[in-house]
Structure 1
Amino acid sequence: MKVNVAIDGGQSALRLRVLPTGATGVGSGYIHGPHATDHMLEAIRGAATEAGLAVPGGGARPTVGVVALGLTGYPPAPGAAEAFAAQVLQLLGADEVRLTQDMVTAHAGALPDGYGVVVAAGTGLVCLAVDRDGSWHKLDGHGYLFGDAGSAFAIGRAGLRAVQRARDGRGPVTKLAETTLDPIAYYRSQTLVDDVARFAPDVLRCAAEGDVVALDILAGAAADIAETIEAAVKKLVGTDPVPVACVGGLFAGAGEQLLDPVRAVLSARAHLVPAAGSSLDGAERLATAEPGPYTALTVIQRKQ
C-alpha cells in the first residue's frame, strides 16, 4: 500500500504524519546557518524512522506516494527549493514532493474554505491573507532580527531584557528576574532563537500572576499581533467580515490570555474564529488533495 506523508517543519520542532495510518514522528526544528538544509534532511530522516518509515541509508522507498512539506526554513535562493525537494524525494523514495512555506500549510489547516487570514505564531510569527479569487498576501515572517512581531521569540526577548534591566537596577523590579537563567550565555548557543522563545511561557505565567512588567510585555505583543491582522484584513477585497484564525504553539499555550487583548483592539471586520486544524493538518490536506488556492508550491516528481 502506498502512503502519503505530511510534514510541518517549525523553528522548534519538525512533525511528520504518515497517511492514512496516522503514525507520527518528531525531529528537531529549523536552525539558521549554512548547514540548515542538511539539518532539515536529518530531522526528516529521524522523524520518518520514528514513524515507521525506514529510510535505509537515504535510499529509495517506493511505498511513499506524495510528500507535502510546509517549512519555516523554506530555501529562498533561486533553485534551492527544487534542489531540496529533490533531496526529500530521494530520502523518502517518494513519487512526488510538494514543498511550500509553513504559512501556507498553517492556512490550509486552519481555514479549509481557503478564504481569510491566518496568523501562525510560535517561535516566529507569519500571517497569510487569502482572498476569494485565490490571491494571497504574506505579512511579517521577516525573522527574529527584523520582524516576527508578537512571536514567542519577541515575548521571550522582551522578558529577558526586563530580567537584565532589573538585575542592573536600570528597570523596574519584576518576578521575571527570579529566573536562574543567564541570558548572556545564549550568545554562544546555536539554537539562540529557540532558547529565547522558550522564556515566553515564563512571561505569560508572571503576567497571569499580575506582574506589571510581564503584563506590559504581553500587551505589547497583543498590539503587534492585532496590527498585523488589521493590515492583512485590509488586503482583502470588500467590507464583509473576514475570518481570522490564530494558530501555532504560542496561541495554544497562551489561549485567551493572549487572544482577549488581541480581540479587544481589532476592528469589527476582523472576526476571530477557531482554527479547523493545525499546520500538520494543512500539510496533510496538501498531500492528499488538490492544492486549491495554494499555488505557491514547489513540486518535484520522480522521473518514470
Structure 2
Amino acid sequence: MIRLAVDGGQSALRLRVVDDGRTGTGPGYTHSSSVQGMLDAIRTAADDAGVTEPAEVVALGLTGFPPDPPAARLLAAGIAKALAAKEVRLTQDMVTAHAGALPGGYGVVVAAGTGLVCLAVDRDGSWHKIDGHGYLFGDAGSAFAIGRAGLVAVQRARDGRGPETLLAETSLDPVSLYPSPTLVDDVARFAPAVLRCAAEGDAVARDIVVRAAGDVAETIATGVRLTAGTGQVPVACIGGLFRGSGEQLLGPLRDALPPRADLVAAAGSCLDGAERLATGPPGPYAGLIVTYRS
C-alpha cells in the first residue's frame, strides 16, 4: 500500500505518491466547488499520477477545507472511498504550508498564490490564523489582489482617468473576464504582468507591488505580535506568488517587517508539508487535522 500527499489550492490540486515520487494534478478549488467536485479533482490528480493501488494513508491540505466538522468528516470519508484509503488526514492548506516551510513547528508562515493565508504557531502549540478570507473579503497582497489592482489600472489608463502605464499594453479586455467560471484564477494570472512591469520601472505597477508587500507585512506583523515573548520569530513565505516575484515583492516586504520577524527560507513546499503529515506524527497540528479511518 502507498501513502499519498495532496496540496489543493485555487489554481490547481497537486498529488504526490510518497513512496516513489509520482505526481499528478487536478482542477483547483473555486468557491462554487461542491464536495463531489473536490472528490473529482482529487481522483483526477490520482489518475494523472497513475495511482491504481489502495492507499494506507492520504494527507491533504485543502483550500476548500470545510469549516463545519461533520462536513469535513463527510469529505474525508468520500476521499477514503475514492482512493481506497485506510486512513485520511484532512486539514487546511495553511497547515500543510506551515508544516512544509517550518519543520520545527514554531513560527509564522504566509502562503500566497491565488489567495493568501497566514498561520502563526507558538512554542506551546497554540495557533492563530490570519486572513485567508477569500478574494472578496481578504487575501490581502495575494496574486488575485495584485492582478485585480493591475487590471483596474489598465481600465483607468484606457479611460483616461488614471496615469499611463505599461500594463495597458495588454491585449486582455478585463471586462471580458466577468462570465468566466475561473474568474478568480484568471485575475490572479495577471499578477506576473504587474511584477514584470514593476521590474521594468513602471511607476503604476511598482506602486501596486509595494502596496501588496505592505499588506503581506501587516499580516506577518499580526502573526508575530500574537506569538508570545519578545525574541525573534522565524517567518517563512511560501507559494507561487513568492516564487515568481523575486525581489520585486520580497524587497519592500523585508523593509516593512517588524524587528521581531526573522525572515528565513522555507524548508519545503505545501506538498512537502502534506507528505510530512502523511508519514509522521501530527505534532503541533493535531487539533487542526480531521482523521478518518475506514
Instruction: Please tell me the TM-score bracket, short chain as reference.
Output: over 0.9
Trace 1:1-304 onto structure 2 (pairs within 5 A): 2-33=1-32, 35-54=33-52, 63-295=54-286, 296-302=288-294
Residue 76 of structure 1 deviates from its aligned partner by 2.4
Distance 1:256 1:38 in 2: 40
Distance 1:117 1:140 in 2: 13
Residue 268 of structure 1 deviates from its aligned partner by 1.5
5+ unaligned residues in a row in structure 2: which ranges?
none
Distance 1:148 1:131 in 2: 23
Distance 2:34 2:165 in 1: 37
| 1:43 partner letter | A
Residue 38 of structure 1 deviates from its aligned partner by 2.0
Distance 2:66 2:126 in 1: 22
CA distances 1:234-275 after superposition (whole Å, capped 9, x unpaired): 001101100000000000000222111101111221010000
| 1:188 partner letter | P
SS at match of 1:119: strand
Residue 36 of structure 1 deviates from its aligned partner by 2.9
Residue 78 of structure 1 deviates from its aligned partner by 4.5
Task: Name the count of aligned residue pairs.
Answer: 293
Distance 1:225 1:181 in 2: 27
Distance 1:39 1:130 in 2: 31
Q: Runs in 1 of length 4+ with deviation above 6 angstroms?
A: none
Distance 2:247 2:284 in 1: 30
Distance 2:244 2:18 in 1: 27
SS at match of 2:5: strand
SS at match of 1:233: helix
- Find the counterpart in structure 2 of residue 58 from structure 1: none
SS at match of 1:79: helix
Distance 1:185 1:37 in 2: 29
Distance 2:194 2:183 in 1: 18
Distance 1:40 1:81 in 2: 12
SS at match of 1:70: strand
Distance 2:292 2:23 in 1: 23
* Structure-2-length-normalised TM-score: 0.98
Instruction: Say if 1:31 and 1:39, in contact at 8 Å, map to a contact too.
Output: no
Distance 1:6 1:97 in 2: 10
Identity of aligned residues (%): 69
Residue 215 of structure 1 deviates from its aligned partner by 0.4
CA distances 1:143-162 after superposition (whole Å, capped 9, x unpaired): 00010000000000000000
